[in-house]
Amino acid sequence: MLRSLRPLWSSIASSARTEIHLWQVLRRFPGTIIARPSHWRFDSLDAIDIADEVSVGPFTEIVVFARSPRSRVPGSLVLRRGSAVSAGCNVRAAGGAIEIGEDSGIGPGTVLVAANHSVAPGLAYLRATWDETRTGVIIGQNCWIGSLCTLLPGVTVGDNAVVAAGSVVTRPIPPGELWGGVPARQLKRLV
């Protein structure tokens, strides 16, 4: 009987942890609007910096680990004033920093990944250390990242840039450009 209750207790404990983390974020950053349900996991609240007028949509998952056994690179999350993370986004700030600039928006369902697994013959990929040569995602000011995009480690999006919906960004985007596609490439200059 007790063994059959273990998954239920595990689920309750996970939900309680998520609520506690959400409460801690809202208490530390009262100018932030976070829609429920959203899932927050972190090892240190000090690895998170959120400015006023930031909004986070429902069904987001935000993971911030300052320390990871898979990488020596610290993880952190910075959300600048007026930035918005839409519904259903997945933000993984472990093994690198993720920063979203002032007045920048992240479209629904977008994934931001600060680190990735090393890939080498003979390695079990999921247990391998993370690649420390390409880490972090930095999005400048006044950027728009469309729905269902993926921004991979090492990517910087310059100020006033736009990423078209459904794009996979694997390299830096200069300021004032529209990029799109898989992999994303320049479509036109905006400024």
State yes or no: is 117 an active-site residue. yes
Q: What is the DSSP letter of 110?
A: -
Q: Residue 160's closest CA among 139, 181, 180, 146?
A: 139
- Distance in angstroms (rounded) separating the CA atoms of residues 83 and 50: 9
Q: Residue 93's closest CA among 139, 127, 27, 141?
A: 139
- Catalytic one among 117, 134, 148, 170? 117
162 beta partners: 144, 178
- Distance in angstroms (rounded) separating the CA atoms of residues 177 and 91: 23
Radius of gyration of the chain (CA): 17
The residues that are catalytic are 117
